[in-house]
Structure 1
């Protein structure tokens, strides 16, 4: 009996088997745990049939995709000093944040409603193409129209439109990539989430380099901004190639076949998902992942209401001067990457512990408030730097834990939708955090 038929037989007997149990059937490049061995007793040929992730290509591709879908946002927000120079009468960073997050949120709601009728492959490819287009708009506008001239606010509106288009692309790509990673073993979600942190580190490195080699003049800011967007365009093209290569890898096709088998078995038992049946399934998925989503939401409300606004506008250093916020942002991004990489070594499997830790992060509010209005020592570079790095470390680790665990609590055929729902909670947290930051509650 073939592996797919055996999986189908098991699903037919128990259609509540979750994607976590299915994904326990193999761990490429390593040994198997007790939970995996238990599942292999049910499908004895499964481990022999799982293709190897040769040269860890699938892992590398998902890491690259994770870096890719956040890089455009990082490019826009890192070039904010140039946009602030061009358009001094508007709060560019706040407008960018609210525009991007709200547009992304609205389109994610639409995608979730139609996820069962659309192809993740198509959504991701369209989204990556839209990313390239949105990133091209800014340097072309600068080259053909703005040309470094201050006060041309029609250029500002074009830039905001490019930010909005990038938000649409983010909804398509991030929802699709996280959703597809949710159908795979946990290591691929970890790779994707770690990639998102790597994009922040890459942009911070570029920011430090441009700060060091370009003068802080109009031409220097313009050159650095064009560099951010040029690198981002190249990376997005690489992501487009990587995704289409990953889609053809045997290990990815294997898990896609498992999903298709599960969907076919469900269709035979319940009929096609449409109308009220799909809404019922969707609400069941939301119910299963709601606490994971709450944790993700809280993480990003706390983080975005503090970072980067507090870092860039509220703290000063007589010693480091204008290097201070740049180094703080770099420190945050590095520790965010460390946190998202730690789950490859140790993963907290208890969702209750992870969600409790997310609630405990509310303590960052009084701590950062102390760095603004507390004793003199708390307002110095060391406490602020330590707190910023801890903000990044906890953000990274807890995000990775919850993103990895959430798709594994639903049936395999629902894992993609569960991943998209979790992204919705994430974007909602980013949007609310951005609005809270607007009022500078700390």
Structure 2
């Protein structure tokens, strides 16, 4: 079946599989961050093994530059890249990384030491590469489909944080009073994460490309000149016809797309700078000691993740979705008030105020991320939407890297370097 014929025949049934697609996108979003959130959420375990190495800050500092470099290279060359191979490679690395963390801990019997720490850092770096492969690839791919797919994927990203936090609290409670309970909880936790990553590989390889709605949007993108969907179409049993039968559209360059959407780019960059200048390092190392003891940092991370997930679900209600470009910029800039609020709350406030502040940080972070990423690609052709999705993820990743670098400033005067 040719691309053109497939597009015409699929049009009346293009909505078939929409809800199945949303579920699959949610799970794929979950798998895109579950490895990283697993490493973040077991921070209490790594602080016990490596108390002098600032695990939450160092692992983040390793992970994010690898992700940024990967997405920068791929965003520049996105028009020539096989999206299917890119995403499958990323999910496979995520699966291998989660499994490698489990094997490493078993092989070393949960001991600390520099060699073990270097091994963990190497695995984290590999997962950073996988993040750059998957996040840009998936957002770009879904940007030329229905907005609900992008939103489901982003909700899955947030759900990975909420799920890992919930699982971590459960495993910590279940094994806390047993011999070597902290490590046993982490082992079970990593085993579940590994299984979730394997599920994502299967879903993306065999289920997602065969959904009618996915085939419709990919054949439409191919008819508009996209070269990134050929392998996905072949996996769905659709053969791309000769190039001279494909409609030719004058595509905007990456530079033109960037400057046409400069406000959206800045929104994402600043949202992530603000958030990651606080999470996770500040929450683990700068909030002091409170009644919750060793549970305190885990509760803060859990509240952030759960409110992030809630914030990403709010735009599902159309009336609550912020679409104004000016409104998005004002909301983004107002989040800089979190910096002094966290400083004074950590210094003078009780744990209840900190939990409330972290919850609001997560809520606004998730909400604004979804609003920008679902509104920005509208009005462009398929290849342009793919390119813009990659550019937005690149700026998002740059914001994360800048935020985690600024996070180290909280240690000034603390004598912890």
Q: Give the alignment's TM-score, normalised by structure 2.
A: 0.87
1:156 equivalent to 2:121? Answer no
Say if 1:265 and 1:60 are closer, same or farther in 2 by CA, change over 3 A: farther
Q: Which residue of 1 aligns with 2:230?
A: none
CA deviations 1:146-188 (Å, max 9, x no partner) are 212232x112111100000000111111111111111111111
1:365 equivalent to 2:339? Answer yes
Contact 2:223 2:246 in 1 (8 A): no
Q: Which residue of 2 aligns with 1:350?
A: 324
Q: Give the alignment's TM-score, normalised by structure 1.
A: 0.82
Say if 1:201 and 1:429 are closer, same or farther in 2 by CA, change over 3 A: same
Contact 1:85 1:218 in 2 (8 A): no
1:216 Cα offset (Å): 7.1
Mapped to 1, the partners of 2:258 and 2:267 lie a distance apart of 14
Mapped to 2, the partners of 1:396 and 1:384 lie a distance apart of 18
Contact 2:174 2:185 in 1 (8 A): no
Q: Which residue of 1 aligns with 2:228?
A: none
Q: Which residue of 2 aligns with 1:15?
A: none
1:178 equivalent to 2:139? Answer yes
Q: Which residue of 2 aligns with 1:25?
A: none
Q: Which residue of 2 aligns with 1:87?
A: 50
Q: Which runs of 5+ in 2 are unaligned?
A: 226-242, 413-417
Say if 1:260 and 1:142 are closer, same or farther in 2 by CA, change over 3 A: same
Q: Which residue of 1 aligns with 2:374?
A: 404
1:246 equivalent to 2:218? Answer no
Mapped to 1, the partners of 2:347 and 2:247 lie a distance apart of 64
CA deviations 1:208-263 (Å, max 9, x no partner) are 11221112788222222222221111001111111121111111000111111111
Say if 1:161 and 1:6 are closer, same or farther in 2 by CA, change over 3 A: closer
Match of 1:97 among 60, 73, 76: 60
1:206 equivalent to 2:167? Answer yes
1:189 equivalent to 2:153? Answer no
Match of 1:165 among 123, 126, 140: 126
Contact 1:148 1:218 in 2 (8 A): no
Q: Which residue of 2 aligns with 1:75?
A: 38
What is the alpha-carbon root mean square deviation over aligned residues?
A: 2.6
Mapped to 2, the partners of 1:421 and 1:395 lie a distance apart of 19
Q: Which residue of 1 aligns with 2:80?
A: 117
Say if 1:137 and 1:296 are closer, same or farther in 2 by CA, change over 3 A: same
Q: Which residue of 2 aligns with 1:340?
A: 312
Q: Which residue of 2 aligns with 1:30?
A: none
Mapped to 2, the partners of 1:422 and 1:67 lie a distance apart of 19
Tell which structure's C-alpha radius of gyration is larger. 1
Q: SS state of the match for residue 376, structure 2?
A: helix
Paired residues, what number? 391
Contact 2:272 2:400 in 1 (8 A): yes
